[in-house]
């Protein structure tokens, strides 16, 4: 049996430094970008040594997670970064632009190695699975010139990798987390297909066959439009998503994120599993993204309500 006592105790102490919902609201209510930036700096977002405040926050988060989590947990959390970097590298190379600024640190594979291998069309330096994904993504773009099809392939490969890693870990919470990620991703994919009136053949290729949802029924509902998809969602564990589908894409996307937040909110109270560690990682990542979104909105003089609609819930 894995031992999580130390990691959970460290998370309990670290949670006290997370920004609360009230903090996020206060940041949203700042009357200018400079005021919002001062508030963020007062809550730990500093550019010490000239490092970007968000890169610094992410680096500190990964350092902490590696200290308190086991190898399997860290891998599951890092995998989405690998697939982001595959997508960014392939698109940058085919667009003829420098993709280095699009890459994220913190994956299981070195971000620059992925980019270099894609540019050279030589993948043997990468791990077998990620190398195969890079090679197939390049092939898809070469043969079809269709960036959307390439995105679909990479996204499905990512979900499969997360699910496989969670199963191999033997950690029941990681498996539930992987299923939730697959379910919400499939709902978002189905919604976009329904909203753009894609045919069933396209939808069958786009939706990932994993998670807990009946994907055959999901695909069929999406092919009949948003109302049919909402009716399908109403009868699942994701019924709260149904009404949001009818409001706006932003409202629906936010609810999908909130589904994961509510799941993590319950998980943080477990004491003898990886759950609190994964929940903390999710909460801190959501906080970093919220601060980035709000500061960007303030810089671009967007209205507070427009920004608020896109900010995800926090569990603190």
Top pLDDT among 309 and 168 is at 168
d(CA 176, CA 270): 14
pLDDT at 316: 52
The dihedral of CA 139, 144, 145, 150: what is its sign? negative
- Confidence bin at 49 (pLDDT 50/70/90): low
d(CA 127, CA 152): 21
Determine the average pLDDT of the residues in 179-197.
96
d(CA 125, CA 113): 8
What does the mean pLDDT of the chain come to? 90
Does residue 50 carry a pLDDT above 70?
no
pLDDT at 164: 95
pLDDT at 1: 47
pTM of the model: 0.85
10 Å CB burial of residue 42 (0-12, 13-18, 19+) is exposed
Q: What tens digit of pLDDT does each residue of 238-281 get?
A: 999 998 998 988 889 889 988 998 898 888 887 777 899 999 99
Cβ neighbors of 261 (< 8 A, separation 6 or more) are 282, 283, 286, 312, 313, 314, 315
Q: How many helices (H) and strands (E) does the chain have?
A: 16, 0
Residue 135: C-alpha distances to residues 79, 106, 120, 124, 125 (Å): 17, 22, 11, 10, 12
pLDDT at 87: 95
Give percent of the chain above pLDDT 90. 61
Q: What tens digit of pLDDT does each residue of 166-177 get?
A: 999 888 889 999
């Amino acid at each position: 049996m894995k031992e999580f006592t130390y990691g959970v105790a460290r998370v309990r102490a670290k949670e006290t430094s997370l920004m609360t919902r009230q903090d996020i609201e206060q940041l949203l209510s700042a009357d200018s970008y400079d005021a919002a930036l001062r508030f963020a700096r007062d809550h730990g977002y500093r550019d010490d040594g000239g490092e970007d405040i968000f890169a610094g926050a992410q680096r500190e988060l990964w350092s902490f997670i590696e200290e308190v989590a086991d190898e399997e947990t860290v891998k599951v959390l890092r995998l989405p970064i690998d697939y982001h970097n595959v997508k960014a590298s392939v698109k940058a190379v085919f667009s003829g632009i420098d993709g280095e600024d699009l890459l994220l640190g913190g994956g299981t594979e070195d971000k620059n190695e992925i980019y270099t291998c894609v540019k050279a069309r030589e993948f043997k330096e990468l791990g077998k699975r990620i190398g195969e994904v890079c090679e197939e993504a390049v092939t898809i773009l070469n043969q079809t010139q269709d960036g959307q099809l390439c995105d679909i392939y990479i996204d499905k490969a990512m979900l499969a990798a997360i699910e496989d890693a969670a199963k191999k870990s033997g950690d029941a919470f990681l498996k539930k987390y992987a299923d939730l990620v697959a379910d919400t991703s499939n709902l978002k994919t189905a919604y976009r297909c329904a909203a753009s009136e894609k045919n069933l053949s396209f939808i069958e290729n786009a939706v990932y066959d994993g998670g807990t949802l009946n994907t055959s029924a999901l695909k069929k509902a999406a092919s009949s439009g948003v109302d049919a998809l909402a009716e399908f969602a109403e009868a699942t564990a994701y019924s709260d998503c149904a009404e949001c589908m009818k409001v706006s894409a932003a409202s629906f996307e936010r609810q999908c994120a909130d589904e994961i937040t509510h799941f993590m909110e319950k998980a943080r109270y477990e004491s003898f599993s990886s759950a609190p560690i994964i929940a903390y990682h999710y909460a801190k990542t959501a906080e970093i993204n919220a601060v980035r979104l709000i500061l960007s909105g303030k810089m671009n003089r967007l209205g507070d309500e427009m920004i608020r609609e896109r900010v995800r819930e926090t569990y603190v």
